[in-house]
Structure 1
């Protein structure tokens, strides 16, 4: 897909950060559209052993870039980019159906402030502290907008995440100093749409709403890629 009007984009480097219990392949359709438009796109792979480890993984990707960067998250990845985005080469942040925490906030705090069906009873936590989302819960909560075949593949290929990640309190919110965009999934069953709107409003984000479920990078790649491209044109 060719995205219109991208020749004037000042930021050519884009780093995409995936959500919890999934991997970077969830960005594939967005990646294809952005690289076709001649952006330099890197997809971080998070170890999910701790938020600190995830931030370090993104930082290594940022260090590998030549020039300014637009940093993009999905879901839990918003916790990560909110801290990693303090890197001076990051010129803007895009949150896609994503947590957008303030300093001192955690994912758990945000979820509790406007609950959905994504509750602790939907998780299997193992002795080592890592967890998986139960398959049927994953299908029902993440699956709207995806085929049953696709969502079951993603559910069954989950990498385990450390349960402490959602308790991590952000040290310094990069969005307080940098321009941000928020792509709201209006039918999200994981992070409530109202919560997404509230986080975006307090951050002063440019808001785009897409009528689809939580997995927007997979369900609505055209629209998501266009917002990212618009952000790249806007930042300096």
Structure 2
């Protein structure tokens, strides 16, 4: 009986030590941030946020996704996570929120940040989410080519996509926008990482691309820590300090 008590005591001690180690890892502040741009954008959309994150001591990788398929963009983002020093905060804007919802299942990812972004549940595609809300008038400015790629007209960029930016910045956004293939919007997420990891969301109150109510409903569904910014769709360009603060909070 004495030996049994010793074995039981040793097992209990080892279990306590393991639990303590797991908790310690969970409490380690993030080392890196991986930024995932949305449709009609590229990695330069984070250029105002990157310096703020670096000043906070975080290493930053801005992904350059091809926007040809969700699977490919998740794989590209996964390579960036692999190359980053962990733990990682994974951030997505707009369509990039769909990408991080899948790519965020990587064990190196500590937390997720959605910036005026879609946050689908497991088995959901962007088209499923959008169908529940009235179509915005900005859709009239979407241009689809014969291969199925979408872009937004210069008028649409100025009037809807980046309405609160100065004209010079609007022209820059229009010039660097990426073309999104429509199939990416119909591809469902397999497993929603926000169900298992700390999640933060920035709701763009003046968004004319993704309905603000949709964003607010996602906050409630995911029980995310959230902020609201009086921003157009490109909150990281019009309110970079507030978005940076949210990402830094997620890193801690």
Normalised to the residue count of structure 1, the TM-score between the two structures is: 0.92
Matches within 5 A, 1:119-198: 119=139, 121-198=140-217
Unaligned runs of 5+ in 2: 1-26
* 2:228 matched residue in structure 1: 209
Deviation of 1:9 (Å): 7.0
Task: Name the CA distance, whole Å, in 1 between partners of 2:250 and 2:240.
Answer: 15
Pairing 1:118–2:114 present: no
Task: With a CA cutoff of 8 Å and minimum separation of 6, indicate the structure with the bigger relative contact order.
Answer: 1
Over the aligned positions, Cα root-mean-square deviation in angstroms equals 1.4
1:26 matched to 2:36? The reply is no
- Give the TM-score taking structure 2 as reference length: 0.86
Radius of gyration: which is bigger? 2
Determine the structure 1 residue equivalent to 2:244.
Answer: 225
**More displaced stretch, 152-161 vs 181-190:** 152-161
* Match in the other structure for 1:3: none
Alignment partners' CA distance in 2, 1:67 and 1:134: 39
Write out per-residue CA displacement over residues 165-205 of structure 1, whole angstroms, 9 at most, x where no aligned residue. 11111111000111100100111111111100101110110
Per the TM alignment, residue 152 of structure 1 is displaced from its structure 2 partner at its CA by 2.0
Cα offsets for 1:82-140 (capped at 9, x unmatched): 00000011111000101011112111222221232232x42221122212112212221
Unaligned runs of 5+ in 1: 1-7
Is the contact made by 1:122 and 1:137 (CA closer than 8 Å) also made in structure 2?
A: yes
Q: Which has the higher helix share?
A: 2
